[in-house]
Chains A and B, each alone.
Chain A
Amino acid sequence: MCPTDVGPPDFKTMLPDVIKKNYGKWKYHEILKPGVMKHVAESGDELYTVRAGSPKLVSTDFIRDLCNVADKYCDGHLRFTSRYNPEFLTPKKENVEPIIKELNKLGLPVGGTGSGPGACLSNVIHTQGWIHCHGAASDASGIVKALMDELYDYFVGKKTLPAKTRLSLACCLNMCGAIHASDVAVVGMHTRIPNIDHEKMRAMCEIPTVAASCPTKAIRRHPDPNIKSVVVDETKCMYCGNCFTVCPAMPLANAEGDGVAIFVGGKVSNARKPPMFSRVVVPHLPNNPPRWPEVVNTVKHIFEVYADNARMGERMGEWIQRVGWERFFKLTDLPFPVQLIDDFELARDTFRSTTQFKWT
């Protein structure tokens, strides 16, 4: 039998020499242009990084393409960012332009850097969607491709943003990938209760486990003891899909009901304002493949209003905090349906208990 529990390879074996030498001894960095950074070590050594865009869902040949570039210009080393951007690392400044040229030849844009005024948009964090997930209320790779085709200029720096802007997408409200603290998050949402398959329930699921999985106690044993299944209380179900996770006989997918919600104003970084959650500003937009025009237009519009109105250096959530949510809805001209008012746990924390507000 092959060995188990070997763990991942030791990262130290994967580092380029310039990093091994200057590990933990970096002094400062500069962004030379969108997608190109220079890090300078205490020793005076320089490290150039070229950051590219990636579709995340890639073939092995894509990885081999990246390897070819790294072999040619980076002594066979590369890394990926926490947002899936491949990064090419080299101590040689003269390699930067050739790397960019090779990447562009492969169809890969270079950009996605910066956190202050003039920042670029980086890769979109996203989940699997219809390409591989059983619980997806929307696609992931498809919408992201449609979004990034329209937001491309923000990635390559032809258009810039007042500050770092993180766009993320999750194909259901499980929100794999911490997208609940993004400047703009697109989230796949079900709007119909599970469509129970009683036959399958009998064969594949265990009623106590299914009932226990429901956070709002909407699921109980079927009143007819001859039917070994469950019923769902429509008034309590919030379409979270927790039951479907433990039982394949409770699918929530519904072609008419499924769609996406848009959340804005969250962030993870502690810079300036503390981390904050993204908030729902559009509760539902339809799934309209392959290009999801309603979603793309809404996100693009929010980007534009933010770019036009925020002060330099303000994250989206910081801008909204300063001007107020009421001004956000005025400026974006988005409607304010009742679904935007919280009625889950801790809802009261979101209500306004002051006479201070702005007229819109």
Chain B
Amino acid sequence: MEDKTPMVDELEKGPWPSYVKELKRAAKKHDSVKDLIKVQERSFQRKMTQWKHGGIVGVKGYGGGVIGRYVQNPEEFPNVAAFHTMRVNHPSGWFYDTKALRTICDIWDKHGSGMTNFHGSTGDIILLGCTTEELQPTFDELSEHGFDLGGSGSDLRSPTACVGPGRCEWACFDTLGLIYDITKTYQMELHRPPYPYKTKIKASGCPNDCVAAIARSDFSLIGTWRDNLRIDQNAVKEYADKKFDIQRLVVAKCPTEAIELVKGKLELTHPEDCVRCMHCINLMPKAIRPGVDTGATILVGAKAPIIHGAVLSTVLIPFIKVQPPYTEIKQLWEKIMEWWDENGKTRERLAELIDRMGMPAFLKAIDVEPCPQMVNTPRANPYFFWG
């Protein structure tokens, strides 16, 4: 009776690829996943999680990268009594060769449950379900093969980048190169949690922001440009010939009315009004491209709801050139971390600290001059300070 899992089995049906099918594949090799399926059935029956957490970190010399996880009823589900998560840092842009992937798979089948996430929310490869004893051997073997753990706890979480110049014509800087450099430079901060709480760095090559930097990274780099859109009129004509409604879908939807159709030509008639939103480029990628004087806008503070509600990053540096060795960017980040580490309370993210201490105090501490690009509007209240 106990071994039947009708509710979980139900999710093997249907057109979308099934995680239950995946669980059952892994269960053929791993007893832990047989128990995992039963645990999932139990949580469906009881409408509650069956897991508890604990303090384990696990790998010698590291304070992050492993999340402790224990089942609530180990006597019933002994094979998942300890079923920890390992976060493995991904290559920038999530590019792989099959040799590397097969290596990870073999290591994980040898030491763990054979279940993974490709990838977790932050971007790490998630190895889901490791006993306490196998944590170190798994790490040792991963490390021998050139892999390392990602972040967890009060540290720098694994930085992530969009596909960038790897495959995207809109990449305004080398997101992959920057993020790889940053990840390598700050290994200490990534593995040995030194901060009041987690902190994130993400880089998107253009304002479409495919890694959601503006929504979830304390330090967000988003590609942009200082000159004008590049428009190829022959390609514009191609779109028009194909009955693509440029006027309705592109011109009328330009948020600042910067672009117009003039005698069949698409022209940036008010270049000073263009806010580089990407809309026209997104809809006519063959005809319109970002400018050539490219770099990034640096924004700070994004975070999910815990504790004082979700925050989107806000502009700190309107434009910066992004070129190796990225010294200016790294120095700025270090200054910000220093201020946050010095003043932040435990479990207080950067945005919450800025809100508590005031943006002017933050700007002063990190030595950044105020500019109108930082705000939607100046303040409306008369309560400002001097001195």
Instruction: List chain A positions with a Cβ less than 8 A from chain B.
Output: 1-11, 13-15, 19, 23-30, 39, 47, 49, 53-64, 66-67, 70-71, 76-82, 84, 86, 89, 107-109, 115-117, 125, 127-128, 130-136, 139, 141-142, 145-146, 148-149, 152, 155, 173-178, 180-181, 212-213, 215, 240, 242, 245, 248, 253-255, 258, 268-273, 275, 277, 287, 289-291, 312-313, 344-346
The verdict on B11 contacting chain A, using a C-beta distance below 8 Å, is yes
What are 22 of the A-B contact pairs (CB < 8 Å)?
A2-B139, A6-B143, A10-B91, A26-B171, A30-B286, A55-B22, A57-B117, A58-B19, A77-B96, A79-B96, A84-B118, A116-B282, A145-B19, A145-B20, A173-B305, A173-B306, A176-B121, A181-B212, A268-B215, A272-B279, A344-B309, A345-B308
Q: How far is the CB of B41 from chain A (nearest CB, A)?
A: 9
Task: Write the B201-225 contact mask toward A (1 if CB under 8 angstroms, else 0).
Answer: 0000001111110111000001000
Tell me the complex Cα distance, A33–B89, Å: 33
In the complex the two chains form, is B97's CB within 8 Å of A76's CB? yes
Which residue in chain A gives the minimum CB-CB distance to B140? A2
In the complex the two chains form, is B92's CB within 8 Å of A8's CB? yes
In the complex the two chains form, is B44's CB within 8 Å of A289's CB? yes
The 5 closest A-B pairs by CB, nearest first: A177-B121, A149-B14, A24-B165, A270-B207, A148-B16
Cβ–Cβ < 8 Å partners of B209 in chain A: 268-270, 275
In the complex the two chains form, is B187's CB within 8 Å of A7's CB? yes
In the complex the two chains form, is A49's CB within 8 Å of B167's CB? yes
Cβ–Cβ < 8 Å partners of B235 in chain A: 28
Task: Write the B122-140 contact mask toward A (1 if CB under 8 angstroms, else 0).
Answer: 1100001100000000011
Tell me the complex Cα distance, A59–B249, Å: 43
Q: How far is the CB of B344 from chain A (nearest CB, A)?
A: 14
Tell me the complex Cα distance, A115–B208, Å: 10
In the complex the two chains form, is A27's CB within 8 Å of B169's CB? yes
In the complex the two chains form, is B51's CB within 8 Å of A8's CB? no
Cβ–Cβ < 8 Å partners of A275 in chain B: 209, 214-215, 312
Which residue in chain A gives the minimum CB-CB distance to B187? A5
Instruction: List chain B positions with a Cβ less than 8 A from chain A.
Output: 7-8, 10-11, 13-23, 25-26, 36, 39-40, 43-44, 46-54, 60-62, 69, 83, 85, 89-102, 104-106, 108-109, 114-123, 128-129, 139-141, 143-144, 146-148, 158, 160, 162-163, 165-169, 171, 174, 176, 180, 183-184, 187-188, 191, 207-212, 214-216, 222, 235, 248-249, 253, 255, 276-279, 282-283, 285-286, 289, 302, 304-310, 312, 346-347
Tell me the complex Cα distance, A136–B119, Å: 19
Which residue in chain A gives the minimum CB-CB distance to B88? A8
Which residue in chain B gives the minimum CB-CB distance to A80? B94
Cβ–Cβ < 8 Å partners of B53 in chain A: 134-135, 248
In the complex the two chains form, is A273's CB within 8 Å of B286's CB? no
Which residue in chain A gives the minimum CB-CB distance to B355? A345
Partner of A135, one of B23, B49, B146: B49
Partner of B249, one of A53, A117, A212, A269: A117
In the complex with contacts A2-B139, A8-B183, A62-B25, A255-B307 CB distance below 8 A: no
In the complex with contacts A58-B118, A273-B255, A313-B249, A255-B167 CB distance below 8 A: no
Cβ–Cβ < 8 Å partners of B13 in chain A: 149
In the complex the two chains form, is A56's CB within 8 Å of B118's CB? yes
Cβ–Cβ < 8 Å partners of B18 in chain A: 55, 107, 145
Partner of A290, one of B7, B21, B90, B123: B7
Cβ–Cβ < 8 Å partners of A149 in chain B: 13-16
Which residue in chain B gives the minimum CB-CB distance to A273? B255
Q: How far is the CB of A185 from chain B (nearest CB, A)?
A: 11
Partner of B40, one of A61, A131, A148: A131
